[in-house]
Structure 1
Amino acid sequence: PAAPRGPTATPGSSPQPCSAFPCPASFLIGIDAAGNPCRFTELGNTGHGWRRGTRDRVLIERPSHGALTPADLPIPPESDLNLSVVDVARPAGAVLATESWLRELLVGGEPLLLVTTATMPGLRRLETTLALLADHRNVSSAVVAVLGPRLARWPGQVRHSTGPRTSALEETGRLVAIPCDRRLAVTGPDTAPLPSAVVAAATTALELMPAADLKSPAAPFSARKGSTPR
């Protein structure tokens, strides 16, 4: 996810109010699908192509209608919250291929958190994504959350799947292992407290990310194309 106005946060664990913008092609993936729907408070349409709801202290804004391509996503509204998270929820290649605010956010140098798994396919996809993004932006400050065991406990096959860009991030301490939790794997995040080990790992990732200052995730794009919804 690219994160304007600050680094990323986990729904239900944020120390401060924050907003999240899931941008999936389907409503069934990404932040929008996390957790038990009964724990989600629906606030209704914003009138600008987004539906708004809350989960704990997280304001979640998701598209009112399906968006098959990034260009189909409506311009996000401005926010006065100190932290916004955009869940890209699409392959980087698909985002880069289409002119949209999501593409400009991804290539514009805003704080970037990539998420993968500690598996051979996961690390190969990570290296491919880093190489693709490196043609458009500096990826040396990206943070990678890796779901799985501590890096020192990776199996040899997984370790050998690490590419040069991934290794460079590891050398600067920008790979963060996120421990697997059986309950979360089944239920997803909800209003129950997150496991302390998960919170500690997420805090580490948060502290590694630089801050930004955008009123909207689409601010650079809106400056060229027109005003941002309020």
Structure 2
Amino acid sequence: MSSSTLNRGRGPTSRPYALEEVQAAVRALQAGEFRDARPITRAASPDGPTAEPRTAGRTPARADAADWTAQPGERVLAVIGTSGSCGASTVALAVALSAEQPARVVECCSASASGLAAATTAELGLHPTGWRQGRREQVLIERVCEVLAGVDEVPSPTPAAHTTQLTVLDIGWEVGQLTTTDSWVSDAVTSADQVLLVSTATVPGMRRLEGALELLVNHVGADVTDRTWVAVVGPRRKKWPRGVEGAGGPHARRALNSGRVVEIPEDRGLSIHGLDSRPVPPPLLAAAARAHTAGPDVDHDAHHDVVDEAGADELDLFADHDLTDQPADRSG
């Protein structure tokens, strides 16, 4: 064995450690620099005590983790999907597009999971802070341009451009990841003016909603329910299949009975194509507008019915709107 290397193991395929690597490892150990300092669960041994098992807790923030605080006058609305492909990005964009004040959507997920990559109608390029910016009508859309391994790697958003900015955070991470990782995204959900959970009118959707609400309450506190709304994608509530509404637990039932519910119509075109440069269906914008205008002083009963039954023929929020090209001549 060479005096400058230490054999890593036996066999012809083993790579020897360079002496410099060993010395660097010793210095790291002496400095207390460990990849994971938490004890690992080991089997009980008669020769000594057993190490304590790992317990579920919040992952500490990295030293270089980003930080962010909303500016005075900036309203923050956090949109969280309770499951993948439930329509959270679509709802987030629709809420911003239906706003009357200047609005932006900050998509916090990894670039590999983006639902807004094709939603802009004008690309503005890469911001120095690392956000890829685009625009759709009056809404600024900011997207992460890198693949992220965790929620603590999301860069902090750019400063609000207006004093009355509506910032819609399209979270893009599960609630469980938010509640167990220190990050500005987790803090923003905790302090957001409004949280909008997006689910589907299905039995699994209600179960996911119950789990998300329970995690939020345990993490933030019971008062989070006062500013948490639920957007349910599917048919109108009166037409939900039997057993759907009761599939969730007490948190879901309490949310559904609170009046803080937005019924989001299904759209066949969006289900097939996803968000792209084509117009967002007006019925979807009309439904999302209710979530934007919601607040602590809103009369829930006055807004409880999204559709006026007398005018349902003129505005059917729950009809399928096919975005594919239609033939010009429909005669015959």
User: How high is the TM-score relative to the length of structure 1?
Assistant: 0.79
What is the aligned counterpart of 1:33 among 108, 117, 139?
117
Q: In the aligned structure 2, how far is the partner of 1:164 from the partner of 1:28?
A: 31
The structure with higher relative contact order (CA 8 Å, sep 6+) is 1
* Cα-to-partner distance string for 1:74-102 (whole Å, 9 max, x where unaligned): 11111123211111111011122111100
| Distance in 2, Cα, partners of 1:119 & 1:79 | 37
- Is 1:80 equivalent to 2:164 in the alignment? no
Query: Over aligned residue pairs, what C-alpha RMSD do you find?
Result: 2.3
Q: Find the counterpart in structure 1 of residue 173 from structure 2.
A: 90
Distance 1:26 1:46 in 2: 15
**What runs of 5+ residues in structure 1 fail to find an aligned partner?**
212-230
Within 1, Cα distance between the matches of 2:283 and 2:141? 24
Q: Identify the residue that residue 245 of structure 2 maps to in structure 1.
A: 159
Corresponding residue to 2:132 among 51, 56, 62: 51
Following the alignment from structure 2 to structure 1, what is the Cα–Cα distance between the partners of residues 296 and 167?
Answer: 13
Counterparts of 1:109 and 1:204, CA distance in 2: 17
Report the number of matched residues. 205
Indicate conservation of the 8 Å contact 2:179/2:215, yes or no: no
Query: Structure 1 residues 65 and 26, CA, compared in 2 at 3 Å: closer, same or farther?
Result: closer
Change (3 A) 1:74 1:210: farther
Task: Look up the equivalent residue of 1:118 and give its one-letter code.
Answer: A
Larger Rg: 2
Q: 1:3-46: CA deviations, max 9, x gaps?
A: 9615465155444431111011343333x2354xxx53221111
The CA distance in 2 between the partners of 1:144 and 1:42, in whole Å, is 31
Q: Which runs of 5+ in 2 are unaligned?
A: 1-69, 78-91, 298-332
Q: Which runs of 4+ in 1 moved over 6 A?
A: none
Identity %: 37
Contact 2:236 2:263 in 1 (8 A): yes
Mapping 1:124-135, distance limit 5 Å: 124-135=207-218
